[in-house]
Amino acid sequence: MGVVCLVGLVGCGPGTVEVDPPEPEGRAAAACASLVDALPQQVADLDPREVEPADALGAAWGDPAIVLTCDDQPPAGFDELSSCTTVEDVDWYLPEEQVEVDDPGDVTMSTVNREAFVHVQLPAEHWPPATAMVDLADAISSTLEVSPTLEGAGPCL
C-alpha cells in the first residue's frame, strides 16, 4: 500500500493532498482507473481535495482528509481468518488494533474480495466509518469485480 502524506493542513486552509501513488499492474490497474473516474463528488458530506500527482490512482475529501488509494496489494495483516464488515455489498477489512469504539483513532480500512484493493485512510475526526463506506460503495461495486482476495476466502460472513 502506498504511503500518504498530508500537506498544507495547517495555516490558511486545506492544500493539496500528496499521494504516494500505488502502481497496480494488469487488470487491477485498469479497474483502479475506472474506480477513480466513478468516485462520488462528496464522501461523508466532505468536499473533494486536489491530489498530487493529479493522475494518482487516488482521491481525497475534507480537512483533515479522507484519502483513498487503489492498488493490487492486500491490506497488511489480512488473512483468511480476519474478520470483515459488509456494507452495501462491499467487504471491508478494518484492522482490529485500529478500531477503538470508545476512543477512535485514525483507521485504514480496505476492501477485500474484489479484483483490486481500495484503501481508505479515515482520520479519527470522521469516525465512525459507516458513512464513508456507504458513499463509496456504488463506485466500488460498479467498477471492481467480486473476486476472492485469498485462496479459500469468500465473502464476509
Contact in structure between 126 and 44 (CB atoms under 8 Å)? yes
**Reduced to 3 states, what is the DSSP secondary structure of residue 46?**
strand
Contact in structure between 32 and 116 (CB atoms under 8 Å)? yes
Predicted pLDDT of residue 111: 96
| Mean pLDDT (whole number) for 123-149 | 94
The per-residue DSSP string of 80-116 comes to: TT---EEETTEEEE--GGG--SSS---EEEEEESBSS
Instruction: Render pLDDT for 55-112 as a digit per residue (tens, 0 to 9).
Output: 999 999 999 999 999 999 999 989 888 889 999 999 999 998 887 767 778 999 999 9
Predicted pLDDT of residue 21: 82
Residue 109: strand pairing partners: 120
55 backbone dihedrals φ, ψ, rounded to 5°: -95, 15
For residue 122, pLDDT over 70 is answered with yes
Instruction: Render pLDDT for 37-71 as a digit per residue (tens, 0 to 9).
Output: 999 999 999 999 999 999 999 999 999 999 999 99
For residue 119, pLDDT over 70 is answered with yes
Q: What is the mean pLDDT of the chain?
A: 87
Whole-number Å distance between alpha carbons of 78 and 95 = 8
Quickly list H helices, 5-58: 26-38
Ramachandran category for residue 88: left, alpha or beta (phi over 0 → left; psi -120 to 50 → alpha): left
pTM over 0.75? The answer is yes
| Mean pLDDT (whole number) for 116-125 | 96
- The closest alpha carbon to 70, from 103, 104, 39, 40, belongs to 39
**Reduced to 3 states, what is the DSSP secondary structure of residue 133?**
helix
Between residues 11 and 138, which one has the greater pLDDT?
138
Percentage of residues in the chain with pLDDT exceeding 90?
69
Q: Determine the distance from the C-alpha atom of residue 88 to the mean position of all C-alpha atoms in its chain, rounded to a whole number.
A: 15
CB neighbourhood size of 78 (10 A):
18
